[in-house]
Amino acid sequence: MGKRVAVVLAGCGVFDGSEIHEASAVLVHLSRGGAEVKIFAPNIEQRDVVNHLKGSPAEEKRNVLVESARLARGNIQDLAELKASEFDAVIFPGGFGVAKNLCSWAVDGKNCTVNEHVSSTLQAFHSAKKPIGLCCISPVLAAKVFPGCEVTVGQDKNVDGRFPDAETASAIAELGCKHICKNVNESHVDKANKIVTTCAFMCKAPLHEIFDGIGTMVQEVLKLV
């Protein structure tokens, strides 16, 4: 029997939902690792909707669960139904939807609030000593819910212009967590908390390097099961 992994999405599309390449990479690497996967998303309205062609707000409303179903090929459940007892690990891909829909980081930064079902899911896996994987901006969820944990969002300086959101590392440190600098093809394992993170699109890097970095995160999560 394969390791049972829940994947939590935040919509569909980098600017207002889950980053599609990251979500796909997580699913591919989990498949390669022989995991049994179920996909979840909160049944809530998106904070906003972005026209991805123009990069501008769209005057419409969309639902996070309904949009995430596009990535899940329709096979998805409400996050409220996720039971940590039925899984060995949980993984959160990134995308602005994490910072807009799963929490309010995009608006409030380190003073953000985390969606109640996201927070309870993280706490349930953590309490059961089950691994949690996060990539791109999603490590801020762990930083907010688990003060003192170790995560990476890449580098804490904009090295060669590749890490334009490096200030996120400082905000994580201000929350009382330890930011570990890592390259895009690496992940960091907080062994004490069983939290595995990688920077993904927080780094301006070729897609295959981001794919490989997510692969290291998924592999480490499966090793911790």
The sheet carrying 77-78 orders its strands as 77-78, 36-41, 4-8, 89-92, 132-135, 195-198, 188-190
Active site residue 199: no
Q: Is the dihedral of CA 217, 223, 224, 225 positive or negative?
A: positive
Helix axes 207-224, 20-32, angle to 10 degrees: 50
The token duo for 180 is: 């570990």
| Distance from C-alpha of 99 to C-alpha of 44, rounded to nearest angstrom | 14
DSSP structure class, residue 163? -
Rg of the chain taking only CA atoms, in angstroms: 16
CB–CB of 210/201 below 8 Å?
yes
Active-site residue identified among 103, 112, 135, 136:
136
| Distance from C-alpha of 196 to C-alpha of 223, rounded to nearest angstrom | 11
As a residue count, the chain comes to 225
* Whole-Å CA distances, 165 to 9, 51, 84, 96, 134: 22, 22, 32, 12, 17
For the annotated catalytic residues, the residue numbers are: 136
